[in-house]
Structure 1
């Protein structure tokens, strides 16, 4: 995950409160689904500025990010429980196998160098029966996909992938889709909940 996006997020961490506001309805649903789970060890990959940390109610939380600028902001966040924050690449995590009960990928999978490598690492460090929560945009499998394709050159400048299909993640091995929540307009944003089998 460590590539040109690291410099981008180091320099533009101040911009993220606006992004969080725009994505507030989707993130509210993410927190609701996560907090319905029994208490456990939770890893957020791409923890960013730490805006999610206060919303994980009963879990022991670890957050990783490659942007030290983002982590600096995250360390200032007030939380009810201690949180471990580490500078680490989600595509090459140092955690032992089966370390976490839950893993959250919130608008992360489209900014990494290799999404399949990330999913492989996530599967490795997730416990059997553990849950993976993926909140992301997904390119529609219809004529609306042209919007993402046209935006792709701009997206690359902003260090993310605008064209990302649902099947790109559904095909990941050892992950069984439990639930899919779609958000308007046009179901462009989705929350996917997987179980490691």
Structure 2
């Protein structure tokens, strides 16, 4: 089953599963946006769970692979300068240096090629811009046998359980770590802030 097909099927249930569990951590991450107006990309915007938490002074673009997710996101953007685009976060349809900041919430561990997403994020980001990440990652060298055992099945339907963030960052020298904080599930979920050099 393709990622596009599986997320079209789960879009009606996505909010019920994630809203309450992730709202506080999303808000913590989004507090990292600056107060001065900027161009912000929400890569993998999904059903728009971040949208009600965003400050109004910025210009936002949300991209997602599925029309079903974007259709659910649009009503949540009513008070924002928001444009939605159907497309692939691994091959962004935007010019180099199009955005001042990029939000990657619960997307890197979903994609078949998270490195391509992070590389594309660096490409469309201006020097000095930031990347705000909220997602689940294995620690470097972490064995996590149960997660690795069920990963081949789970990744076909919804998400990967085997992504090591440091391995992605090592391959993307344009991005440097500014902060890394545990968020949920004893640090399995993390809040990460990167800067484009």
TM above 0.5, one fold?
yes
Looking at structure 1, the residues matched to 178 and 99 of structure 2 have their Cα atoms a distance apart, in angstroms, of 18
TM-score computed with the length of structure 1 as normaliser: 0.90
Provide the secondary structure at the position in 2 that maps to 1:110.
coil
- Aligned match of 1:24: 23
1:126 shift after superposition: 0.3
Provide the secondary structure at the position in 1 that maps to 2:130.
strand
- CA-to-partner distance for each residue in 1:137-182, whole Å, 9 max, x for gaps? 0113466622321221331232321111131233121101111111
Instruction: Give runs of aligned pairs for residues 2-17 of structure 1, distance below 5 A.
Output: 4-17=2-15
Looking at structure 2, the residues matched to 165 and 49 of structure 1 have their Cα atoms a distance apart, in angstroms, of 25
Structure 2: 5+ residue runs without aligned partners?
A: none
Looking at structure 1, the residues matched to 48 and 124 of structure 2 have their Cα atoms a distance apart, in angstroms, of 21
Q: Is the 8 A contact 1:102 1:130 kept in 2?
A: yes
1:23 shift after superposition: 1.6
1:102 shift after superposition: 0.4
Looking at structure 2, the residues matched to 119 and 153 of structure 1 have their Cα atoms a distance apart, in angstroms, of 22
- Aligned match of 2:60: 61
Q: Does 1:170 align with 2:169?
A: yes
Q: Is the 8 A contact 1:54 1:79 kept in 2?
A: no
Structure 1: 5+ residue runs without aligned partners?
A: none
Provide the secondary structure at the position in 2 that maps to 1:186.
helix
- CA-to-partner distance for each residue in 1:98-143, whole Å, 9 max, x for gaps? 0100001101011112112111111110001000111110113466
Q: For the structure 1 residues 80 and 65, does the alpha-carbon distance in structure 2 shift closer, same or farther, using more than 3 Å as the test?
A: same
**How many residues matched?**
194
* Higher mean displacement: 44-53 or 15-24: 15-24
Provide the secondary structure at the position in 2 that maps to 1:23.
helix
Q: Is the 8 A contact 1:53 1:79 kept in 2?
A: no
* Higher mean displacement: 20-29 or 117-126: 20-29
Looking at structure 1, the residues matched to 189 and 158 of structure 2 have their Cα atoms a distance apart, in angstroms, of 19
Q: Does 1:79 align with 2:85?
A: no
Q: Does 1:45 align with 2:7?
A: no
TM-score computed with the length of structure 2 as normaliser: 0.90
Root-mean-square deviation (Å): 1.8
* Higher mean displacement: 9-18 or 103-112: 9-18
Instruction: Give runs of aligned pairs for residues 62-141 of structure 1, distance below 5 A.
Output: 62-141=61-140
* Higher mean displacement: 145-154 or 128-137: 145-154
1:19 shift after superposition: 1.4
